[in-house]
């Protein structure tokens, strides 16, 4: 039984909350008693998610538009959050994207979009959440949704590789997680950092060919959401720095 009492009524921000891992995590955090701010570009999907909650829980979810690849959008969304709630206690950096193609031939503007979403979006959201947690001297927690692709480049041979810049962005998150761990300690804060690296997850990011090949060997988004709850449930002096979670039988 996870121990979540200390998080009751605390403020959690979830990026990419409209589907997949983000939506599953949002539901779990609401059940755990958080006030959750769900951020995403697709407001209609966020409102649909809110309507699916029990009527007595809907007030715990605040729906806010945010495109994490755009610094101005992030700053606007977080400014509204801080004004309304006074601070952030937990940040789930979940938003991410993958666009198929080859690194040696793709339009650099497309690659920049992936970099801005997967790396710089995490940087900016974390900067704002860190400032809020540090100034209030709280036991905060920042979670980064990484990938097994951030620890090993997944081979596609003999097929043509299509992951291009995705794996490098996840390798960046692996390095950033340890940099944050060192910085948070050097600043003498009580903020934890956790990187969660799932294998293949059954989300909208999985293309149809991959789904057909691996439909019986994928994680459910709730499997990853449960891992987030585990990291949050640890005692204040315990930091789970890295979780790698794979579906049984995965051979990547």
Distance from C-alpha of 21 to C-alpha of 25, rounded to nearest angstrom: 6
pLDDT at position 215 is 64
CATH for 5-242, among 3.20.20.410, 3.40.50.11740, 3.40.50.720, 1.10.3720.10?
3.40.50.720
- Pairwise CA distance, residues 96 & 225, whole Å: 15
> How far is 46 from 5, CA to CA, in rounded Å?
26
Query: pLDDT tens digits for 61-98?
Result: 999 999 999 999 999 999 999 999 999 999 999 999 99
Omega into 158 within 30° of 0, i.e. cis?
A: yes
What is the pLDDT, as a whole number, of residue 218? 87
Annotated active-site residue 171? The verdict is: no
**Which segments of the chain have a pLDDT < 50?**
1
Catalytic residue among 166, 171, 180, 230, which?
A: 166
Whole-angstrom distance, CA of residue 138 vs CA of residue 113: 33
What is the pLDDT, as a whole number, of residue 146? 97
Give the pLDDT confidence score for residue 1 in this predicted structure: 42
pLDDT of residue 49: 95
Q: Enumerate the domain spans of the chain.
A: 5-242
């Amino acid at each position: 039984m996870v121990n979540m009492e200390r998080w009751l009524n605390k403020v959690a921000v979830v990026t990419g909350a409209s589907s997949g891992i983000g939506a599953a995590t949002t539901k779990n955090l609401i059940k755990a008693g958080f006030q959750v701010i769900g951020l995403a570009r697709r407001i209609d999907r966020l409102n649909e998610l809110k309507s699916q909650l029990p009527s007595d829980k809907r007030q715990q979810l605040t729906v806010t538009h945010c495109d994490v690849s755009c610094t101005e959008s992030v700053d606007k969304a977080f400014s509204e959050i801080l004004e309304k709630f006074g601070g952030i206690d937990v940040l789930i950096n979940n938003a991410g994207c993958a666009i198929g193609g080859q690194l040696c031939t793709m339009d650099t503007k497309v690659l920049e979009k992936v970099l801005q979403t997967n790396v710089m979006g995490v940087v900016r959201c974390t900067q704002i959440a860190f400032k809020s947690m540090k100034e209030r001297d709280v036991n905060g927690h920042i979670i980064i949704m990484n990938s097994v692709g951030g620890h090993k480049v997944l081979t596609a041979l003999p097929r043509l590789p299509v992951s291009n810049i995705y794996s490098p962005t996840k390798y960046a998150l692996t390095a950033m997680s340890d940099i944050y761990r060192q910085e948070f300690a050097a600043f003498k804060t009580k903020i934890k950092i956790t990187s969660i690296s799932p294998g293949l997850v059954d989300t909208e990011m999985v293309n149809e060919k991959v789904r057909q090949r691996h439909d019986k060997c994928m994680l459910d988004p709730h499997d990853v959401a449960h891992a987030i709850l585990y990291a949050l449930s640890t005692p204040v002096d315990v930091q789970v720095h890295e979780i790698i979670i794979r579906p049984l039988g995965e051979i990547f």
